[in-house]
Structure 1
Amino acid sequence: MYAVQGAACDTTESIEGFWKLARWARRRGGVQPTYTPTLHAGNQTYDTPERKAQVLQETLFPPPPEADLSDIPDYEYPEPLQMPAITEKEVCQAVRQAAPNKAPGPDGIPNLTLHHALAIPVFLDHLTNLFNTCLQLGYCPEHFRKSTTVVLRKPGKPDYADPKAYRPIALLNTIRKALEAVIASRISYMVEAHSLLPQTHVGGRRGRSCEHAIHLLLERVLASWRTGALVATLLTLDVSGAFDNTAHKRLIHNLRKRRVPINAVNWIASFLHHRITDIVLMEGATGQFTTDTGIPQGSPLSPILYLFYNADLIDQIHEAYPGKATVTGYIDDICILVWSQAAAANCRRLEQIHKIAEQWEAQHASKFAPAKYGLIHLWQKVRGVPRPLSSTNASTNASVKVQGVEVKPVPTLHYLGVQLDQHLTGMKQIEHAQVKATEMIAALCSIAGSTWEITLSHLHQISTWFIQAGWGFKAAENAARKALESIQHKALYRIAGAFRTTSQAALKICLNILPPMIALERAAKESYLRIATSPLMATLIEIRHSGQRPAPRNAWERRRHMQWATTPDHDPLTSPLERWGRRIAISQNRLEVIHPHVTPPWWSGLESHIAETREDALAAHQAAVHSSADIIAYTDGSLTEQGVGAAVVSPLGCQAVHIGSPATHTIYAAELRGIEMALTQIGNTERGWDIQLYWLPGHEGIYGNECADALAKEAANSPAPNSVEELTLMASTQRALRIEAASAWKSEWAASTHGNSLRRYGKNPQKHQCNYTKAYREPPHQSSFKCKFGRLRWLVILAPLMLWNQLNALVDVVVKIYAMFSSTGSRRELDYRAYLTRPDLVLKAVRFMLETGLLGQFQTLPTTYRVTTTDLGQPAA
């Protein structure tokens, strides 16, 4: 048992090991297999590794149907975009962004080796030349096309004797993956800069996530309800073996028709041709085979390539049904939404739309799986709004019949991790999250025992990951309050090792964990910011404005419309995104737009130098000062309570400007404005000047630097100009949300009548109250918490005090603890608080309790697992 505890301690020394332990706790229910079970396909049984590999190859890499390529020969392609040569900066970024300890491909070279090799100039030069030559020739070396295919179980499958219950993952050569990453980054930039893909194709693109796709769907449904549609119907499609059955000729055609550079297209064609892979089971390698179909899963290029592969499906449906259907794509997940007065009419339209999908299926050699489709009818459950066409339930039971399969509607549909119910109340998602969170509490118990050496900071992160994730778009509503508070309380007990009678409010203070509703409200507003600052927000607003209510038909409707106009939050058809935008109270046109790619990947920028020490930075400055050919400009930014300012001081002139308030700007924005002002002073940068950026430490007596600092502060404290309205930065708004959450927490704590035993140690929630316990292993922080919560009285430790004082190494702490009691036995509150608030005294008090074994659960710990001076943050004697 102690060996397991020690292993857990060693595992959490690194952040990777910590999350590995967290995932183990989450999935610990099943027994991990050590071999692949006997597989069954049809009437055949496959029991040897070679036969298992054979059936897996036939199942996972089946020969795809012939694609209809009749439209390709006569197609006139548009002028392709241009792709310049690959730079050394791109190569370095691609190599360093790869995880260093990922499993390598057949060459056996781990990414960590490439990370270290980048420090060798000749290696980086040769690697860049190799990548450029491959791109210019449109050729992927044969060595790069070899891979190892690891067959993994799909989680949650009932029968692993079925070959379809496995997923192939390709382990690729690391140098090849670096080249793929460079090309994928370039294509991703061109997608956003030149709008090569549909706006509603959300997944696999930088700056877009599942929450963008969910809110895109919600905005469209609510807009249709506002226009008078009684029911909206959602159909989710499923493509069998989407990546593995990709037709290469069709993919190349789709890339060329969407203007992808021809050199990249030629390289991708070579990269996909005649690939060799070796299937590896748990029993070992089973031999190589050749595949000429599909896109290897695990490749950095695979997501962006499949976006091009099925983009035509989205465009064709939108062109055939403008304003009557919305198609949302998330890589290989496609959903179709239609709306009208009746569910049956929606189903007939979906059947017509599916015929377009079947044409795409024939052209792309894909295979739909209607048995895995999902169908749900979404309708309002609001007073005064009639149910679709009738008062019976029959109108919402209409089904869709496609390819001989009847797809029946369900009351709850799982889409992109969210449980959508028929009325979009979000309650099903809350119930689902509650069940998952309960499972996570059980997982937390397995690693948060009071004698396990897991640090408090790690347990804090696990609880946030386990408990507060996955509550959905309605998570911050009052409906989730009771469920989430109950779940969070159970988690906090496990983390702190507290008794069940401990106040919830006190637990949150000591662990510095926000109350659930405050945390979720902040998370909802931050989610709004991520969406509102993305380019997709323009599409969402366009959809929202398309759903205008018809004129009221009677006095009752007029009163309701007037009420909703004055109090939009009470309007049941206000989208969650719009509601949270109003609560933040920032106009959409005042928020910055964060573009996925500010500059092309091959843009080199200015050369910058950040010294490792202040002394090195000052030495570099002295060398520049003594060079008569250099023009030195000093820039600085300042943030005060009055505003944000930037300044530049150079031989070309001095300039300072007030750029905004702390509510709209950050100090980093001020620093960038100062650099921009310096570049503007230079004027024409095409004269061949070598412009370099150097970091200088402040307040080192450098005259130009001190002048720039003084001017920036003066500009920050000056009145703001009235001429220009500056945009609000996302970072400054996030800072305001953090301050708002902290203020709400303080108000809640002040109004609470619980946790009185803790109030003597601090009146308000403050982060520093738990900073000195976050790095502790379990026993120290649990001991101090029990004392703070008033659940372990100091009088209990008075009896064995005289015996323990014989330990010479701890005489000092005995004297100080004994000093908390007068000769009459009364406590001196000032000293008592000090021993549970001052870090140095807390460490000694905790050590006293653990060494004496006063807490029963620690008496069985061997000496090696007792708290040590290192654990307590003190140097070993």
Structure 2
Amino acid sequence: MLPCVIVGGDGVSLHRKRACQADKRACKPICRAWALTYTQIQAQAQTSPLAQAQARFASRKVKSRSPAASRAISALAALEKEAAILPAQLRIEREALLAVSQYLTLPDTHRMRTLLHDAIAAAPKNPKLASMLHFVERIPEVKWPPSVPAHGQRLRARGTARTTDGSECADSIFDSSLGMEPILPVYAAPWSPPLPVTSVILAKEEALRALEIALDDSRRYRATWFTDGSLLDGKAGGAAVRVENGMVREKIVVPLGDGQVCEGEMEGLLRATEKALRDDQDNILCVADSQAALRGTLLTTPRSGQFRAIRYDTLIRQALSSRPHLAVLNLWTPAHIGTIGNELADAAAKEATNLAPDPTNFVSLTSTRRLIHLQILNQWDRASKHAKTGGELKRIDRSPPSLNPIPLYSSLTIARKNSSIISQLRTGPSHLNASRFKSGFISSPACDACGAAYETRAHFLLECQAWEPLRKPLHSAAKEAGLFGPLHVSPLLCEPKLLRAVSNFVEATGRFP
């Protein structure tokens, strides 16, 4: 029994459907977990900064003189983009993807891994029986096994038949973690002896003096490594170099693909220590410019990247059995200040970003969560472009939707009334005569101030001769913002640097009640 999420026009309902052969008792904690997840979504929707931005956006709409125009102002596509509110269906999908990606990190002995195996191995015969676990096929960058139904077979439109019989893959053997990094709830006992590793993180000047002293120690002459990580064009890499007399004697590069910089830094520290131990060195010096990496290599608590800390811990403890006098010094140094070893390690890390990663590397949970976020934003952008509402906003603002509210609704220097007026000018329906005439509330769209045939937002902002003396500050603000040439509606209503000037112009005209 698995929980089934059905998303429709009237919201979300949770139904229990027989989607696999798991027993009823195993289903209950999953149902409760998913119900809790959905409850948390609802709670966040009421208390999160995004919800507060939505409330500010809605409250700053000046009430129209007619209910019809008021409804037009609140076009859903415009509201979602203006208030930075992720559409409900995408929000639910994002939470499901984040939850399932977390489930992939569970140990093999966990009951959830059995249920995940069933969700991966078979596609539901009826699309209505798809559960939250079937969102696993939409998680980016995981290592999808070839012996199971392809992507799109589990979560498919109603009336679409599956192309693979689930019974054909039910007994197939594959890694149900899909290559995701493992995260252990408990690794070491609290009374485990500490590692013979000293991590030194000092202030900039003190760190440079400590590095100079450490490099003068002849015991570490052949065991001094500089490490670094890099991220170029979305690809990460780590490196470690052993330097003698300003020359690279040994170099290790670790391409990580869609990883993070800190992961590259930790890989550099790990590989450098591993190589020094293979060379039978007892006094090892590793120099890194990442404080997070120096701390992360010694932190085995449950988190993303834990497996690297466990590898480091295991490596040191195994070496201690044959080398009781082992001592490792991990030293932080400021980056990009001309330290030869650090600059050479940085160049090697950049080189690693251009190489193909090892296919056996684990998939990082942190990177997966970032890619899920980008995937959802891309879906939102595509949906926004094809939306039938919000056309007036699209004509002036073609930027993709974002979860960061625009400054218009977060600025404390813009009067609430003025921000409401600017919001109406951005989204379309307003108190301008062209808009009111289109809705049938006045008999003429002509401008009352100058007599022009149509009082549109372009006419009000750029063309009306009655307000020409008031536009001088707009031109000055545009030049200060680096916008030269004639003014246009789009930068006036979209450029944050012009927001204050446009607000003053709206207030000075006295056009809006």
TM-score of the superposed pair, with normalisation by structure 2: 0.58
The change in CA–CA distance for 1:834 and 1:219 in structure 2 (over 3 A counts) is: closer
Shift of 1:719: 3.9
Partner in structure 2 of residue 709 of structure 1: 346
Identify the residue that residue 842 of structure 1 maps to in structure 2: 499
CA distance in 2, matches of 1:760, 1:650: 57
Q: Contact 1:835 / 1:842 at 8 angstroms: preserved in 2?
A: yes
Residue aligning to 1:639: 231
Q: Which residue of 2 aligns with 1:385?
A: none
Q: Deviations over 1:593-644 (max 9, x none)?
A: 21234454566564434456x6665555445445556554210123345854
Alignment of 1:185-584 (within 5 A): 222=18, 226=21, 418=35, 459-462=49-52, 494=58, 497=61, 499-502=70-73, 503-535=75-107, 538-542=110-114, 567-568=123-124, 570=126, 575-577=131-133, 579-584=134-139
Task: Tell me the distance in 2 between the aligned counterparts of 1:618 and 1:678.
Answer: 21
For the structure 1 residues 720 and 801, does the alpha-carbon distance in structure 2 shift closer, same or farther, using more than 3 Å as the test? closer
Structure 2 distance, partners of 1:540, 1:843, is: 54
Give ranges in structure 1 of 5+ residues lacking alignment: 1-210, 212-217, 233-324, 331-413, 420-428, 445-457, 464-489, 548-563, 806-810, 820-827, 857-877
Contact 1:656 1:715 in 2 (8 A): no
Q: Which residue of 2 aligns with 1:608?
A: 199
For 1:546 and 1:530, locate their aligned partners in 2 and report how far apart those are by CA, in whole Å: 17
Aligned in 2, Cα 1:623/1:759: closer, same or farther, shift over 3 Å? Answer: farther
Q: Does the 8 A contact of 1:528 with 1:580 survive in 2?
A: yes
Instruction: Report the CA distance shift for 1:417/1:747 in structure 2 as closer, same or farther (over 3 A).
Output: closer
Whole-angstrom CA distance in 1 between matches of 2:406 and 2:72: 24
Q: Give the structure, 1 or 2, with the largest relative contact order (CA under 8 Å, sep 6 or more).
A: 2
Give the alignment partner of residue 649 of structure 1, picking from 219, 241, 246. Answer: 241
Instruction: Tell me if 1:682 matches 2:276.
Output: yes
2-structure distance, mates of 1:566, 1:748: 29
What percentage of residue pairs aligned between the two structures are identical? Answer: 22
Going from structure 1 to structure 2, the CA distance change for 1:839 and 1:569 (only over 3 Å counts) comes to farther
Q: Residue type matched to 1:530 in 2?
A: Q
Give the equivalent residue in structure 2 for 1:174.
none
Contact 2:254 2:267 in 1 (8 A): no
Change (3 A) 1:658 1:496: farther
- Alignment CA distance shift 1:726-1:847 (3 Å): same
RMSD: 4.8
**Residues 222 and 818 of structure 1: CA distance in aligned 2, closer, same or farther (over 3 Å):** closer
2:426 matched to 1:788?
Answer: yes
Q: Does 1:813 align with 2:491?
A: no
Are the equivalent residues in 1 in contact too, given 2:243–2:341 (CA < 8 A)? no
Return the alpha-carbon distance in structure 1 between the equivalents of residues 478 and 105 of structure 2: 59
Contact 2:18 2:129 in 1 (8 A): yes
Cα deviation code 1:715-746 (max 9, x no counterpart) = 2312445xx51221111211221221122122
SS of residue in 2 equivalent to 1:648: strand
TM alignment of 1:121-160, pairs within 5 A? none
> Which is higher, the Rg of structure 1 or of structure 2?
1
Distance (whole Å) between structure 1 residues aligned to residue 76 and residue 494 of structure 2:
20
Assess, with a 3 A threshold, how the Cα gap between structure 1 residues 599 and 791 changes in structure 2: closer, same or farther: farther
Q: Which amino acid aligns with 2:231?
A: L
User: How far apart in 2 are the matches of 1:720 and 1:851?
Assistant: 60
**CA-CA distance at 1:687 after TM superposition:** 5.1
Q: What are the superposed Cα offsets for residues 779-823 of structure 1, whole Å, 9 maximum, x if unpaired?
A: 2654542332234547558698589x6xxxxx962665899xxxx
Measured in 2, the distance between the counterparts of 1:528 and 1:705 equals 39
1:479 is matched with: none
How far did 1:676 drift? 0.4
Residue 251 of structure 2 aligns to a residue whose secondary structure is: strand
Cα–Cα, structure 1 residues 538 and 329, in superposed 2: closer, same or farther, change >3 Å? closer
How many residue pairs were aligned? 372
2:250 counterpart SS class: strand
Distance 2:508 2:215 in 1: 61
Q: 1:700 corresponds to which residue?
A: 337
Structure 1 partner of 2:399: 764
Aligned counterparts of 2:473 and 2:185: Cα–Cα separation in 1? 57
Q: Does 1:726 align with 2:386?
A: no
Counterpart contact for 2:238–2:352, Cα < 8 Å: yes
What letter matches 2:50 in structure 1? H
1:570 deviates by 3.2
Q: What is the letter of the counterpart of residue 654 of structure 1? A: E
- 3-state SS of 2:185 partner: coil
2:229, 2:236 within 8 Å by CA — same for their partners in 1? yes
Question: What residue number does 1:832 align with?
Answer: 489
Asked if the contact 1:647/1:654 (under 8 Å) is kept, the reply is no
Letter in 2 for 1:633: W
Contact residue 769 and residue 837 of structure 1 kept, 8 A: no
The residue number in structure 1 matching 2:378 is 743
Q: Closer, same or farther in 2 for the Cα pair 1:536/1:514, shift >3 Å?
A: farther
Amino acid at match of 1:840: K
The answer for the alignment partner of 2:310 in structure 1 is none
2:260 alignment counterpart: 666
Match of 1:594 in 2: 183
- For 2:243 and 2:468, the matched residues in 1 are separated by 75
AA matched with 2:424: K
- After TM superposition, give the deviation of residue 417 of structure 1 in Å: 8.9
How many angstroms does 1:462 deviate by? 4.2
How much does 1:542 deviate? 3.2
SS of structure 2 residue aligned to 1:691: strand
Superimposed CA distance per residue, residues 744-782 of structure 1 (whole angstroms, 9 cap, x where no aligned partner):
122112222432222243323154984544642372654
Matched position secondary structure for 1:500? helix
Report the 3-state secondary structure (helix = DSSP H, G, I; strand = E; otherwise coil) of the residue aligned with 1:675.
helix
Q: Residue 147 of structure 2 aligns with which residue? A: none
Structure-2 change in CA distance of 1:840 and 1:687 (3 Å): same
Give the superposition deviation at 1:649: 1.4
